Structure 1
Amino acid sequence: MKVKASRLEALKMLISSKELSNQEEVLQALKVEGFLLTQATLSRDLKQLKVAKAASMNGKYVYVLPNETMYKRIHKPLSPTEMMQTPGFVSINFSGNMGIIKTRPGYASSIAYNIDSSDIPQIIGTIAGDDTIFIVIKEGATPEDVKESLNGIISL
């Protein structure tokens, strides 16, 4: 049996990527991902994650996560197992002394925090959104220098 943290992460990914309208659908989706649990355990997990029901675009009521979790519904989702094995970093591009790092939805804030906490001398600071990080690079630093410094934090 997989640990609770993995199960909760898979549950968040499923809710953010599929329109699940009842607990049976959620239990089946979790089963596909390798999580066998009872309806009572699922109820406790949903309560812990503060999951609610809301009307979707087609008027059907589906499970949703609270806004502060920073998970958002995506159109072509990976399976939760694939998502948990894939790093949050997507790409990085530079223009002058500015850079943009693209991440998977919900990852920008934690990656920006790691960058800021690392005190990289070539980076003045970051601003993070949901899936984008804006970085300001010190005068004279090259994109290659920045990438080399970031390589310890992000798998470029």
Structure 2
Amino acid sequence: MTTNTSAKSRIAALKKLLEAGLATTQEEICDELHKMNFDITQSTVSRDLRRLGAARLVNPSGETIYKLPNQLNPSKSVSVTDSVSSGLLGLIKDIKHNGYIIVIHTTPGSASLIAKHIDDVQPNGILGTIAGDDTIFVIPSAKDQAENTIQAIQAEFEKN
């Protein structure tokens, strides 16, 4: 049996697993990829999931599964503004601040995806982000700039 070592083919196989909804844990993903003759570790799976922007969500039957960004079905019942929620904006429940730190609440499993997007586009005024499962801390680059930074974040997500 030949082991497949191509990163491109591994990523393609991982995408197929995610699209099929067969990805409940990283260990399970490793097992499935081993069945496809990929010699892979959990840490490689973790890095690949992060690169793909995969989010860990709870499906209707209560199982935790990994999904690709294009598979996410944003909730239409929550939004930050009165504008039409689309794309990633629909995953954001609310944004609050205390003048120093901005807290973004998201749908479960979406915080890493939203934080990665914020880090990638780096709207003016952001030093960095820290993401949990459904909460993101955003650190503005200047004291008392939280309100302006929130507006920059909202503008970024409204255009996607």
Whichever of the two has the greater Rg, that structure is 1
TM-score bracket relative to the smaller structure: 0.3 to 0.5
Compute the TM-score of the two structures, normalised by the length of structure 2: 0.47
